[in-house]
Chain A
Amino acid sequence: MKTSAKIYSGIVFAILFAPILVLLVFSFNDAKSLSVFSGFSLKWYRELLNDRNTLEAVRNTLVLAASATVISTIMGTAAAVGINKLRTKWSKAVMNTVTDIPMTNPDIITGISLMLMFVFVGRLFGAATSLSFWTMLIAHVTFCLPYVILQILPKLRQMDKSLPEAAMDLGCTPVGAFFKVELPEILPGIITGAIMAFTLSLDDFVISYFTSGNGFETLPIRIYGMTKKTVTPKMYALATIIFFVTLGLLMISNLVDEKDEAK
């Protein structure tokens, strides 16, 4: 039984990581091929550093993800606190359903409907172009928001309701009680929500594709544009770097969690 369990998890890990391994190995390939490995070289990493458009796309992606994360985390926290304070079950259910819509809706429908709305509003105001960085930001906040709320609500439910009440009893203003007592309690939820929002925004393609405007190109859109000819190994190099950065972030966040639990 034990060996079969090992084999099983071995297969699972192999399937999970083999594609990344292939990518990693071929990012160091001297030639342009995906079938022949002709020698170790850092050529594609150098190429990547010289590719102004790709680096610009990376920058755009990061800026967009960071902005969307900040906004959706703040909005999401406020929304979660508000939903948690709703008195009746019925109104809670309604609010939850409404905020979940962007999450359950297929991306392509969210993307198209957002685009149509932006175009419609743009025409209303007589603008020649209605899509820009800002429309993309609105779109990203829209689909990140439910995930943030979903991370924070359980923390709020777990929290002892008498804690903020006690704080206010002892002379805290409601705002003070929120920042001093509630916020530290739900902070782990907020951080997880922010990380989720960041990663979701980072790799979104479908919605970005429909709402992107002139010249503001994110990385997924740029890579998609390369598929007419073959994707160059530069992209393997980039993907390898992104993979290790994400891996590092994940490890840090897991280590922090472990420490918190140990306390």
Chain B
Amino acid sequence: MKKWISLSLIAIMLAGLCLTGCGGKKGLTLNVYNWGEYISDGSEGSFDTVREFEKWYQETYGQKVSVNYSTFASNEDMYSKISSGAVSYDVIIPSDYMIARMAAEGLLLPLNFDNIPNYQYIEDTFKGLYYDPNDQYSIPYTYGVVGVIYDANVVDEADIGGWDLMWNEKYAGKILQFNNSRDAFGTAMYKLGIDVNTTDKASWDKAYDELLAQRPLVKSYVMDEIYNMMESGEAAIGAYYAGDYFTMVDAQSENVDLQFYYPENTNFYVDAMCIPSCAQNKELAEIFINYMLSEDAAIANAEYTYYASPNSIVYTNDGYIEEMGEDVMAVLYPELGSFAEAYNKMAYRNLDSETLSYLNTLWENVKIN
């Protein structure tokens, strides 16, 4: 009996070894590094972006290309992999502040826009963003704005509007605050009308006092836990990104009615497609980026991720607008006037190390007190 088992185990393992041996890939290879769950991947009958690209490329160029698609969980994870010099990716999709940092460190290659004709669909309002002021290195993929989510069954309509709701004593023990220093201080600074990128310590102290005042009202400091706490009705007020708000609405309990609004000042993020300096096939990477901007792929990705797309082909598409619904469109694409202006004024930027360490000391005190 035992002999039989060990024999079959060995057979399975040898078969496994063979699989790797035979798995050698011919033709071109494109390495893409993106956030998890951040591309339409064919699940629930959606468009399989990577496979469709492979097909399209073969039809157009008559050459086989295989896409190695990997995922990361945070900008910092991605940065440490790329900067270690041990890997080579052709396309990456980091967030704004990380693009600024990587460009400054020479980790990004300037794009050749001749290979990316679909860049025309990105309107001027999404150009000249602070992290890439000359639009050399990046093409925006998604953006989002932080807003306040509340449970309409608990919160009185009269109390909504502005950041004040997160400081409203009526809802003590029902409020969630971010569990990271930048976002938590951000809410207080937007509330007070302080520039979130200031280097003035007195301004940070003011925000600190505000957070201390809020502390007794806060149920807990959360990141991803916010999903379950809001969906189940455990908490009634919290701030998060618009796209994530819909994920929560999808899964909310029967006795919960989640609603959303934008305070006047708030944080933005932009995630953009870039080519890192370790890329081995820059032209192919540009073709892929161009494909990501094309109608089918861009719409499918926007529908899949539920984040706002800066691609005009998407947000002016009737099918997409219908699929999303008017309410969703109103939340995802707030009227901002000029996106670039609002973004450059309000979004977080990289802080210098002195301010950053001061911020972190204050934050530790908030959590200890």
Q: Does B344 contact A (CB under 8 A)?
A: no
18 CB < 8 A contacts A-B: A32-B247, A32-B251, A33-B231, A33-B250, A36-B232, A36-B253, A36-B254, A47-B43, A52-B41, A67-B13, A115-B84, A129-B278, A190-B6, A213-B86, A214-B68, A221-B71, A228-B37, A230-B247
| Beta-carbon contact of A191 and B2 below 8 Å | yes
Knowing A228-B35, A260-B2 touch, does A214 contact B43 (C-beta < 8 A)? no
- When distances are taken between beta carbons in the complex, the residues of chain A under 8 Å from B70 are 214-215, 217, 221, 225
Q: Does B280 contact A (CB under 8 A)?
A: yes
CB A89 to nearest CB in B, in angstroms, measures 33
Shortest Cβ-Cβ A-B pairs, 8 listed: A215-B68, A225-B71, A66-B16, A33-B251, A225-B36, A35-B232, A226-B36, A66-B13
| Beta-carbon contact of B231 and A36 below 8 Å | yes
Knowing A31-B251, A70-B14 touch, does A213 contact B42 (C-beta < 8 A)? no
Knowing A31-B251, A32-B251, A187-B2 touch, does A53 contact B231 (C-beta < 8 A)? no
Q: Does A119 contact B (CB under 8 A)?
A: yes
| Beta-carbon contact of B2 and A47 below 8 Å | no
State which residues 276-312 of B face A: CB under 8 Å. 278, 280
Extra pairs beyond A52-B50, A129-B88, A133-B20 (12, CB < 8 Å): A33-B251, A33-B252, A35-B251, A51-B42, A66-B12, A67-B17, A119-B84, A119-B86, A129-B278, A215-B31, A215-B69, A259-B1
Q: Does A69 contact B (CB under 8 A)?
A: yes
- When distances are taken between beta carbons in the complex, the residues of chain A under 8 Å from B14 are 70
CB B94 to nearest CB in A, in angstroms, measures 12
| Beta-carbon contact of B73 and A227 below 8 Å | yes
Q: Does B19 contact A (CB under 8 A)?
A: yes
CB A56 to nearest CB in B, in angstroms, measures 9
> Majority SS of interface residues in chain A?
helix
CB B66 to nearest CB in A, in angstroms, measures 9
Interface size on B, residues (CB 8 A): 53
- When distances are taken between beta carbons in the complex, the residues of chain A under 8 Å from B38 are 228-229
Q: Does B203 contact A (CB under 8 A)?
A: no
Q: Does B171 contact A (CB under 8 A)?
A: no
| Beta-carbon contact of B87 and A35 below 8 Å | no
State which residues 152-206 of A face B: CB under 8 Å. 187-188, 190-191, 194
- When distances are taken between beta carbons in the complex, the residues of chain A under 8 Å from B278 are 128-129
CB A57 to nearest CB in B, in angstroms, measures 10
- When distances are taken between beta carbons in the complex, the residues of chain A under 8 Å from B252 are 33, 36
The CA of A131 and the CA of B231, in the complex, are separated in Å by 41
Which one of A32, A50, A130 lies within 8 Å of B250 (CB-CB)?
A32
Q: Does A250 contact B (CB under 8 A)?
A: no
Q: Does B89 contact A (CB under 8 A)?
A: yes
The CA of A260 and the CA of B5, in the complex, are separated in Å by 13
Q: Does B195 contact A (CB under 8 A)?
A: no
CB B71 to nearest CB in A, in angstroms, measures 3
Q: Does B244 contact A (CB under 8 A)?
A: yes
The CA of A188 and the CA of B88, in the complex, are separated in Å by 43
State which residues 317-341 of B face A: CB under 8 Å. none
- When distances are taken between beta carbons in the complex, the residues of chain A under 8 Å from B250 are 31-33
The CA of A159 and the CA of B299, in the complex, are separated in Å by 68
The CA of A227 and the CA of B1, in the complex, are separated in Å by 43
The CA of A122 and the CA of B85, in the complex, are separated in Å by 10
The CA of A123 and the CA of B85, in the complex, are separated in Å by 9
CB A168 to nearest CB in B, in angstroms, measures 24
State which residues 71-102 of B face A: CB under 8 Å. 71-74, 84-89
Q: Does A224 contact B (CB under 8 A)?
A: yes
| Beta-carbon contact of A129 and B87 below 8 Å | yes
Which of A115, A188, A214, A232 is packed against the most chain B CB atoms within 10 Å? Answer: A214
| Beta-carbon contact of A63 and B280 below 8 Å | no
Q: Does B200 contact A (CB under 8 A)?
A: no
| Beta-carbon contact of B16 and A256 below 8 Å | no
Which of A35, A118, A123, A234 is packed against the most chain B CB atoms within 10 Å? Answer: A35
| Beta-carbon contact of B37 and A229 below 8 Å | yes
Q: Does B224 contact A (CB under 8 A)?
A: yes
| Beta-carbon contact of B73 and A228 below 8 Å | yes
